[in-house]
Amino acid sequence: MSAHVSGRLPDFPWDKLSPHAEAAHGHRDGIVDLSVGNPVDPAPAVARHALSAAADAPGYPPAAGRPEARQAVVDWFARRHGVTGLGQDQVLPVIGTKELIASLPLHLGLGPSDLVVYPELAYPTYQVGAALAGARALACDALTAIGSQSPRLLWINSPSNPTGRVLSRNHLGALVEVCRERGVLLVSDECYLECCWDAEAYSVLHPAVCGGSHEGILAVHSLSKRSNLAGYRCGFVAGDRAVVAELLEVRKNLGLLLPGPQQSVLAAVLADDRHSEEQHQRYAARRTVLRTALEAAGFTIDHSEASLFLWATKGADGPDDWAMVAELAELGILVAPGTFYGAAGSHHVRLTFTATDERVAAAARRLSARP
């Protein structure tokens, strides 16, 4: 079974970082791990209080989500992102968005005759989801570039992981129109929508993008980024009523239920903007420190107007991504090579600023002290 699974899935890329992680651990002041966007700040008090209050949960939670959790999503979309016309039956809580992304093609019944398209520089799980369903996968940024092929599913990711690129409102609207014309389900991974620094990001569900109709589109969101809740595995998908209903039927049959206490947490944190704004300020300060140090050390930062990452390079004529990984590992700084996200990342590395203030400051000192 293990050999069968490994044969149909891409290699897990982070395993290749092990030698560089070992080198970074050897630094006299310890490793600064900027390779994975893992939240390290405390979970907000509102989440911990909600979890404690809901801890007595002996019964099965509803797969569709509790009404208060679904309404919190509806209200948050309207209050924070201008999304109108969304109903509770268009919202589905999920057990972390990575699980949803990886399982979506399979749960929608895609197979070998179907094509899944995802960005040229992308989170690897889009490809994994296609592979699990046995579907064909294509990394392509322009739907019009694939010719007569009609994908069943198109993934977009704005703000992007790894590049931090934000697609404009007009670009998103054009994608919605093309997908509807061709009968393609458009799924927008928007997990970094509230992590914007130098740009304004739009949800694909915004009326100026979708024309006031959610037909043929889904938006995927996570509480891991805005609320430091990666360990709680709280996420949700919203959009096309019929597609959400189909996903609900599958998830009920599989017993994929977001635990009741986490549903209470989801409702509580989405109703509270203060904690996410405070976290946004923390990340903004770390981003400034790290970006300033990288640029002073000879790196150029491309895109990176949003998300929790800096997309750094020394140019197309400079060292490749693995050479930069090795160079930074000698300073005790572990980063992700750009090719983890696609061949187009061969001259970039991705650095996260989710580490503590102290570790980000340590990375900045090491970069400034290098010869």
- What three-state secondary structure class fits 230? helix
The pLDDT of residue 147: 66
Query: Residue 2's pLDDT is what?
Result: 41
Burial class (CB in 10 A: 0-12, 13-18, 19+), 174: middle
**Stretches in the chain below the pLDDT threshold 70:** 1-7, 10, 143-147, 371
At 14, the amino acid letter reads: W
**What structural domains and CATH numbers belong to the chain?**
2-42+275-369 (3.90.1150.10), 45-272 (3.40.640.10)
Give the position of tokens 């929608």.
108
Inter-residue contact 276 to 351 (CB < 8 Å): no
**What is the rounded distance in angstroms from the CA atom of residue 142 to the CA atom of residue 168?**
14
Read out DSSP for 311-323?
A: EEES-TTS--HHH
Q: What is the DSSP string of 266-297?
A: HHHHHT--HHHHHHHHHHHHHHHHHHHHHHHT
Element (H, E) at 94: strand 91-94
pLDDT reported for residue 371:
67
What is the reported pLDDT for 351? 98
Phi, psi of 243 (to 5 degrees): -70, -40
pLDDT in tens, 80-106: 999 999 999 999 999 999 999 999 999
Residue 245's pLDDT is: 98
Q: Specify the pLDDT at position 150.
A: 85
pLDDT at 122: 96
CA distance 93 to 237: 7
Place of tokens 């992007």: 160
Residue with tokens 């750094």: 312
- The residue assigned the tokens 């102290």 is 358
Q: How far apart are CA 253 and CA 233, in angstroms?
A: 20
